[in-house]
Every structure is written in structure tokens, then in C-alpha cells.
Amino acid sequence: MAHAIPTTMRANTLVRAGQLEMVQHPVPTPAPDEVLVKVTAVGVCGSDVHFFHEGKLGDWVVNEPLVLGHESGGTIVAVGSQVPESRIGERVSIEPQHPSTTSRETLRGDYHLDPDMQFYAVPGTDGAFQEYVTIQSHFAHSIPDNVSDWGAGLLEPLSVAIATARKAHIGVGDRVLITGSGPIGLASAQVARAAGATEIVMTDISEVRRNNALRFGATAALDPVSDAEHIAGLRADAFIDASGAGAAVRSGLEALRPGGRAILVGMGLPELSLPITTIQNNELVVTGVFRYANTWPAAIALAATGRVDLDSMVTGTFALDQAQQALESTADENTIKSIVEPQR
């Protein structure tokens, strides 16, 4: 049955740091290779929170109104001229990026590193805190019935965790250290477990978050201060920093075995000091993760088979006009993942 598409829609828009306003936008018309998605769920990410509170993130500065939200899913309600009409009605998870097709990065397979990327909720490209969005059809990933609307949105942070695990080369029997037990840390723990890691040690200064870690795949949850000596002796195969804290990065590097791999994914300070002698003498591999490429098929499979539990990470849902409350909710240590539901 065809969906009646309005001409205008509500968009909860960041107009300046600390202030959102509900704005009426035209419903976008999909380009020939795009689909129009009626958004049903949007996860709140740490980057949204940074933009909301500070009006900037790293080198990105919000100089004009911006719609936040990039962890999203929904239902296709219209298609561009190059997309089969049979896709109308599909439930999809959105991979929220539009890279150039001809950049060196895209051509070598690293399309997520395209320097001219148009990415949801980054200045210059509106995100999904609105009722409808467009996306290239190949980045609207069809999901099975047993993946919920919440799960459709949270396949995005799960994709970050999958990209992280792939860079860490996590395999059967590995010992993994994860610092930071927020949403990305918890997703990374579940992916590490699915990849075959048998020891997954997570750290956080919050006891509440340490308890969450044990619920979502950690075999041990440690206090980075009182358990510092134990952490230093782990000799982990892989270290994932999902905290962004300088002290966590340094302690994690010291906890790696010779030849271990450190993956920095948490958003933290732009610069920090590193134990260079430890990195050199132990030939550690230290790298970062910036988004993802070719991760959605794996993310869908993990969620659909129950190897990763996304729905249990949701601790609060909010209507579109409550997007500011959703952003502010992340300050509560009891919050794991807040979801905005634009159709409420």
C-alpha cells in the first residue's frame, strides 16, 4: 500500500550550541539513485552530544542550523528513478554516508575516508532527527523482521565496533582489553565475544557501567584506579580504547603483549603523550577507527542471529520534540543508549 507522503515535515534542529528548535522542512525528493525513508528510530551518539553542548567537534564547527542524529533506520516510502519500486515498504537500516565515487580512498575500498564525504549530522549535511531522510539506495540496508526499529538504528554503532574488531584482528582465544564501558565499549565487547575472544576485560570509573559491562560480554570489569596493577599485567592481544581518556590510552598500551594491537575509537583530547619506548620496543600497532566500510552485512547477521543484543542497550525513548532531553540524558551514568522516535 502506497504511503501518503506530506510536503513538509518536522525537523528538530540545532540552531546554536545548547539550543534545539523544531523547524518545518520540505520533505526531500530522492535523487535517481536514492530512496526516501520514513524514520522510525534514531540513536543518540556522543558526537551529537558534543555538537549540542559545544557547537563543534574536532575540526567541525556548526555555523548554520544542523539536524543531528546519524544512527537511524526506518521504512522506504519512495524511490528515485533508478531504484526498483519493489523496494517501497522495505524496513531498512541507514548507513549514513555519501562518499565520492572517484576519490582515491573510495577506489581503494576505504570509502569511509573520502575527504569530501557527506555524512549525516556533520556540518553541511542534515541528520535524522526529522521525519524523513534520503540516502543512496545501496546504503539503505534491508533488515529482517526480527531486527527491531531500535536495532535498525543501532546497527550504526555496532558497525563501529565491527570495524574496530577487524582492525584489532580479534580471533579465537584472544584476550581483549576494552577501556570505557559506554555504548561503543559494550558493542565492542559483544563483537569480540562473537569473534571468539575468550577473555574480555573492560574498565570504567563508574560502578554502574562496570556492571553493564558484565551484562554485555565482559568476563571481568575492573576499576582503572584500584585495579591498575592487575590491568598493567594483562598482556592482552588487543586493546580497544572506547573512553577517549588519556590515562586509559596509556594504561592500555602498557597492558598489551609484545606485538599487540591498540585501536583508538573513543572521542577524547586532540593530543596526548604516549609511551613511545613501549610502543617501539614491543612493536605495538597503534591505529584509530573513523567510521566504517562494508560492515552492515556483518552487523545485520550478528543482530538477526542474536549474537549481539542491541535492544537491551536501549535505556530510554523520546519523541522528536524531546530530542534535547534525549541528548541531555547521556549525562546520566544509568543511560546506555537513548533513542529518538520521530513518528511519535
DSSP 138-197: GGEEE--TTS-HHHHHHHHHHHHHHHHHHHHT--TT-EEEEE--SHHHHHHHHHHHHHT-
Asked if residue 2 has pLDDT above 90, the reply is: no
Q: Does domain 8-148+310-341 have CATH number 3.90.180.10?
A: yes
Residues 6+ apart with CB under 8 A from 130: 9, 10, 11, 12, 25, 39, 67, 320, 342
Confidence of residue 157 (pLDDT cuts 50, 70, 90): very high
d(CA 303, CA 154) in angstroms, rounded, equals 10
Question: Taking residues 39-54, what's their average pLDDT?
Answer: 96
**pLDDT tens digits along 68-81:** 999 999 999 999 99
DSSP-derived secondary structure for 296-339 = HHHHHHHHHTTSS--GGGEEEEEEGGGHHHHHHGGGSTT-SEEE
Average pLDDT, the chain: 96
How many Cβ atoms from other residues are within 10 Å of residue 81's Cβ?
9
**pLDDT tens digits along 310-343:** 999 999 999 999 999 999 999 999 999 999 999 9
**Would you say the CATH fold of 160-288 matches that of 8-148+310-341?**
no
> Residue 246's beta-bridge partner residues?
none
d(CA 226, CA 311) in angstroms, rounded, equals 32
CATH of domain 160-288: 3.40.50.720
**pLDDT tens digits along 97-125:** 999 999 999 999 999 999 999 999 999 99
The least confident of 43-57, 191-205, 239-253, 264-278 is 264-278
Would you kindly state where each structural domain of the chain is located, as residue ranges? 8-148+310-341, 160-288
Residues 6+ apart with CB under 8 A from 167: 261, 263, 287, 289
Helix (H, G, I), strand (E, B) or coil at 96: coil
